[in-house]
Amino acid sequence: MIPRYAPKDVAALFSDEHRFETMLEVELLAAEGLAEHGVVAHRDVAVLRQRRPVIDAAFVADVDAREQVTNHDTAAFVDVVQSRIGMPEGAWIHYGLTSSDVVDTALCFTLSQAMDIVITDATALRDALTRRAMATIDVPVTGRTHGVHAEPTTYGAKFALFALQVQRDIERAQRARTSIAVGKLSGAVGTYSNIDPAIEAYVCARLGLAPVPATQVIARDRHAELLYACASLGTAVEQFALEVRHLARSEVGEAEEPFTVGQKGSSAMPHKRNPVLSERLCGLARVLRGYLQTGLEDVALWHERDISHSSVERVILPDALQLTVYMLRKATGLADGLVLHPERALENLTVGSLGLVFSQSVLLALVESGVARDDAYRVVQNAARRSVDEGRNFRDVIGGDAEVTLNEEALAKAFDTNRLLAHRGRFIEALTWRP
């Protein structure tokens, strides 16, 4: 991932140093497990721990150099570890294991750590949206369907629905975290031919992973599920960001991104305050969905394994986790800092819409008065068209329409925003995690 979109804490999890550190821990735990079951002397395992090599840039460089000879990265890693520890104790490193035992278990451990960060940051976004929902649930705004004025809603209802969507994604991420928190140390084709299942159980227990049946590799549907959780979170962020972009349009003007001192919206036009962050988030959501497609293609492997997935995962898994966290953190800042313009929203609702947002209320009032629904629909539809064509307020047109026999009380009820929004509290009731 390019540094621009790489949170340092997540990027560190996918560094070579962290990868080798985790692989080394799997190797040492396996040796400990062998000692617990009488295969290796406890004294030898103690030496392995005492001589544990420091995983630094020099170690990484040595592995890279050794790989030029072995043309096998895990074999190169094992060779360097054994040479640093020394013989005869170093011979117990990688005893009875195959590369995927170490690589897959270490990767799943790292992905579990990364998902913990994702879940934490998704929760922060959910909570930021929840706070805005609770603060603005009573602030009316025009609801739009197909981009066209529909009926009144509130800012708070919008924020609440975004928060609920993120909450569902948190639950998906939690399930994906559970699914990926697994390990295997079962040998070349997963049959434990040269290692006892108890060793697998020992290592996984100490890493907080669940041992699972496998071929030579852990099944990749687990990784695809993780990528779906990331892509879904990205899409939730995109949904929120897309709404910001629409509300920030000059013709709408109901919200805008925070604009800091010294910021420039355009290199050419000083008046511009473009929704650049929201646009960036919408673009990155597309990248995340692309990783999901690639991850799904990694699921089907030849027989007990091939490595067509390996090169792919070196790119998409680190990138997907980093992008997801980047997007969540940026979206949280956007949710907290989003500038709302309730006055403009009210103007759009009442004046800008010409009052047409109350057309259904008038329709139903006519039906209640005894007019057949289709007849009432045609009356209201014609009045609405005249309102638009003549640029007149819909209520004035309705009030002067001879076919509309509603009294003033019925008209006042039909054009009452508070009546239409009487149940807005249900959105807040659905936010069961709120403080």
Joined tokens for residue 243 = 């709404």
pTM: 0.95
Mean pLDDT, all residues of the chain = 96
Q: Tell me if 341 sits within 8 A of 257, measured CB to CB.
A: no
Q: At 63, which amino acid appears?
A: V
- Structure confidence at residue 263 (pLDDT): 84
What was the pLDDT predicted at 273?
87
The pLDDT tens digits for 239-271 are: 999 999 999 999 999 999 998 888 887 777 888
Residues in contact with 195: Cβ distance below 8 Å, sequence separation at least 6, in sequence order:
30, 95, 96, 97, 185, 186, 187
Kindly state the tokens that stand for 157.
Answer: 């209802």
Q: How far, in Å, CA of 106 to CA of 123, rounded?
A: 26
272-311 confidence digits (pLDDT tens):
889 999 999 999 999 999 999 999 999 999 999 999 999 9
Contact criterion met (CB below 8 Å) for 212 and 178: no
Residue 274 phi, psi dihedral angles, 5° rounding: -80, 150
Q: Residues with Cβ < 8 Å from 403, sequence gap 6 or more?
A: 379
Which pLDDT belongs to residue 26?
98
Residue 30 near residue 87 (C-beta atoms within 8 A): no
Residues 101-116 have pLDDT tens digits of: 999 999 999 999 999 9
Cβ neighbours of residue 405 closer than 8 Å, sequence gap 6 or more: 369
CA distance 203 to 191: 17
CA distance 173 to 288: 14
Asked whether the CA dihedral 156, 162, 163, 165 is positive or negative, the reply is positive
Q: How far apart are CA 260 and CA 182, in angstroms?
A: 45
Active site residue ranges:
146, 266
State the CB neighbour count (10 A cutoff) for residue 266.
Answer: 11
The SS3 of residue 308 is helix
For each of the domains in the chain, give its residue range(s) and CATH number, in order of start.
1-95 (1.10.275.10), 99-194+209-349 (1.20.200.10), 356-414 (1.10.40.30)
Q: Give the single-character DSSP code of 216.
A: S
For the record, the structure tokens of 73 come out as 């990265």
399, 402, 406, 408: CA torsion to nearest 10: 40
Residue spans of the chain under pLDDT 70: 435
How far is Cα 281 from Cα 235, in angstroms, rounded to an integer?
A: 9
pLDDT score for 266: 79
pLDDT at position 1 is: 87
